[in-house]
């Protein structure tokens, strides 16, 4: 467990090698007031290959974050698997420091506008009910009459 990502490439060749591990969640320090927060450690699975002129880094970083949905205002958590493709043109180094690049990739994967799910229904603008959980009366006004509404008018005596 660590909060920086440095990889020795002294023995790296064109066949490449796999590097995987865990970065602690303080690897990415987000502002305290930010509505998006990492809630898991960051798992990385990278494949490094030495190529002409540099090093090719590909793979994935996975983590979980928590946020507050901008539509329905509920807290939610989400897993992210962020694809990594980086070319580093410093082939002379014995060790490469990917800390900044990976931090950037994670920051890019976090949402600017948090939405709990693509089909979040949000809140009713009229009554404020969370439409993911319940239907409200106001919305019925905009819809066609349901087949059951005719029953309301029946005299069942
Ligand atoms: Zn939502
Ligand atoms: Zn409503």
Tokens, residue 71 = 């539509």
Q: How far is CA 13 from the centre of its chain?
A: 33
Give the whole-angstrom CA distance, residue 124 versus residue 146. Answer: 19
How many Å lie between the centroid of ligand 2 and the Cα of residue 134?
9
Q: Which ligand is nearest to the CA of 76?
A: 1
Measured at the alpha carbon of residue 114, what is the angle toward residues 108 and 116, in degrees to the nearest 5? Answer: 120
Query: 61 vs 84, 129, 145, CA distance in Å?
Result: 7, 37, 49
- The predicted pLDDT at position 79 comes to 96
The CA-CA-CA angle for residues 150, 154, 157, to 5°, reads 160
Share of the chain above pLDDT 70, in %: 85
Q: Evaluate the CA torsion angle 19, 25, 31, 36 in order and state its sign.
A: positive
Spacing, Cα 142 to ligand 2 middle (Å): 11
23 CA to centre of ligand 1 in angstroms: 29
Kindly state the tokens that stand for 75. 């807290």
pLDDT, average across residues 104-120 = 92
Q: Whose structure tokens read 């950037």?
A: 104
Over residues 55-82, mean pLDDT? 95
CA separation for the pair 153, 48 (Å, rounded): 72
CA 36 to ligand 1 center in whole angstroms: 14
Q: Which ligand is nearest to the CA of 124?
A: 2
Collect residues with CB below 5 Å from ion ligand 1.
69, 71-72, 116, 120
How many whole angstroms from 121 Cα to the centroid of ligand 1? 7
C-alpha–C-alpha distance, residues 20 and 22, integer Å: 7
| pLDDT surpasses 70 at 108 | yes
For residue 137, name the pLDDT band (cuts at 50, 70, 90): confident
Banded pLDDT at 26 (limits 50, 70, 90)? confident
Structure tokens that stand for 123 in this block: 């809140």
């Amino acid at each position: 467990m660590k909060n920086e990502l440095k990889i020795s490439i002294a023995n790296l060749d064109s066949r490449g090698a796999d590097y995987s591990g865990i970065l602690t969640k303080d690897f990415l320090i987000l502002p305290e007031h930010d509505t998006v927060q990492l809630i898991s450690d960051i798992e990385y699975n990278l494949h490094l290959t030495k190529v002409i002129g540099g090093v090719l880094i590909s793979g994935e970083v996975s983590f979980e974050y928590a946020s507050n949905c901008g539509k329905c205002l509920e807290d939610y958590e989400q897993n992210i698997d962020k694809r990594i493709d980086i070319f580093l043109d410093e082939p002379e180094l014995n060790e490469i420091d990917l800390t900044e690049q990976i931090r950037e990739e994670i920051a890019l994967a976090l949402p600017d506008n948090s939405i709990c799910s693509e089909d979040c229904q949000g809140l009713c603008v009229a009554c404020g009910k969370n439409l993911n959980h319940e239907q409200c009366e106001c919305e019925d006004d905009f819809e066609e009459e349901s087949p059951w509404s005719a029953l309301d008018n029946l005299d069942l005596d």
